[in-house]
Chains A and B, each alone.
Chain A
């Protein structure tokens, strides 16, 4: 199964900024063990643009679709046989990247 692992940061209480090397090492392990599909950090929500083309004209607006103190800071996509495996990896990953994670299965 595939799981989307969302990295959740908090504007009021941000996680550490020195986790790059540890995360890279963890990613190498994910690749070696066959769990890696994709990963990427996201730029700050200030850099987001919302596009709404459901009406007659496309509307572009500056900023994220949701203003909240918690925001999506990056994502992983993992391949895992079941939720227990995904949660065990996520427990490690949360410690390594010093942020909360949300684990959600793809349909």
Chain B
């Protein structure tokens, strides 16, 4: 890759959201913002190798994208009087100071994650407008037809415009409720990357996990005092740190207990631990932690020992008890039971897991957990049935490979 290519790639990663968000504020139209930004980056690809990389790539891209947007509005306004209104937005003001630009990106996140949009649409729109992923990339990530994804994004942009979804950060009283929707979108993107579903995809989609982390870092930079933002970032970092140890060379899932801990990413773990400590200090000062902070703390316990045998399981169970109070869902109860198995034995855990059957009968992890507990209790025939069911329901290729081997090892 030439220096210019590398500079364009870096600028795309660092500046895309800033450019799109700034254009959206100026022109009040997501379509114009997105297309003008895309044209500006296309121009950079052509020009930078010949002219050299500009000293301030972000400013160059913003200026170029603004010109492209104005050209586009002028072109279209000749055909369509409706756009005359948009043309009046054009001004020659110098670029906004950095603070205001950061604000623009935050506004864009809240616009893309508006509760009036369906959850899959919020995810797609966030990846497009803030992540700069192409429609093809998003369609591939979520295993849908490109035309269907194109329609979904086009429809969402039209709804934002026609229905009057505002381009702003919600008021202080609405912020917690709206922010939780934004974090849910980012966690969904991360999880789809971490446990990719579908027989044709890689078991781990690093592109998606990296994008989710990048966007969460962005929110963290914009809302540094929010505990759940810090918690979600820590949770993602501590999970991502184990990524390479989690799938074997033969493409099989490696459970936590069998992972090569030397292969974990020490710097991501250190950063995650720092965030967890920051939240523990806040909790000690009286701020009750939310769901992501507790999940991050659980992952901090797992990643703080060199040997699985040193894991402080009583602390893990205590954290799950705290989580159950916030989120009494059967999935949380299932994860708690997995920790209970280490503390009180597989028979106690199995009794807890069996109570969840009505709610989780179609969830692969329920059957995988039961299978493992039954295996440890020497109840091979029942374990085999449970493995069969888990394999049938699991969508992740590495997980299916692991469960199949476990089943075939049963006596």
Contact = CB atoms under 8 A, between A and B. Distances in A.
Contacts of B200: none
A84 B170 contact: yes
Interface stretch (B2-10, B88-96, B158-166, B389-397): B158-166
Interface in A35-92: 80-84, 86-87
Interface string B101-131: 0000000000000111000000000000000
A105 B162 contact: yes
Interface secondary structure of B, over-half rule = loop
A23 interface: no
Contacts of B165: 82-84
A45 to B, nearest CB: 27
A83 to B, nearest CB: 5
A32 interface: no
Nearest to A84: B166
Interface in B166-188: 166, 170, 174
A84 B165 CA distance: 7
How many A residues touch the partner, as a band? Answer: 10 to 19
A96 B116 CA distance: 21
Interface residues of B, number: 10
A87 B164 CA distance: 11
A59 B192 CA distance: 55
A56 B154 CA distance: 40
Nearest to A104: B163
B114 to A, nearest CB: 8
Contacts of B166: 81-84
A1 interface: yes
A25 interface: no
Nearest to B170: A84
A103 B166 CA distance: 15
A1 to B, nearest CB: 5
Contacts of A84: 165-166, 170, 174
A105 B162 CA distance: 7
A86 B164 contact: yes
Nearest to B167: A82
A59 B181 CA distance: 50
Contact of A82 (B115, B164, B174): B164
Contacts of A104: 163
A84 B116 CA distance: 9
A83 B163 contact: yes
A20 B203 CA distance: 57
A90 B358 CA distance: 36
A84 B160 CA distance: 11
A1 B165 CA distance: 11
Interface string B60-93: 0000000000000000000000000000000000
Most buried by A among B115, B162, B163, B166: B163
A80 B162 CA distance: 13
Nearest to A86: B164
Nearest to B116: A83
A105 B170 contact: no
Contacts of B170: 84
Instruction: Pick the 10 closest A-B CB pairs, nearest first.
Output: A82-B166, A82-B164, A83-B164, A1-B164, A105-B163, A83-B165, A83-B163, A84-B166, A105-B162, A105-B164
Interface of B: 114-116, 162-166, 170, 174
Interface of A: 1, 80-84, 86-87, 103-105, 107
Given A81-B166, A83-B164, A105-B162, 14 more contacts: A1-B164, A80-B164, A81-B164, A82-B164, A82-B165, A82-B166, A83-B163, A83-B165, A84-B165, A84-B170, A84-B174, A87-B115, A103-B163, A107-B162
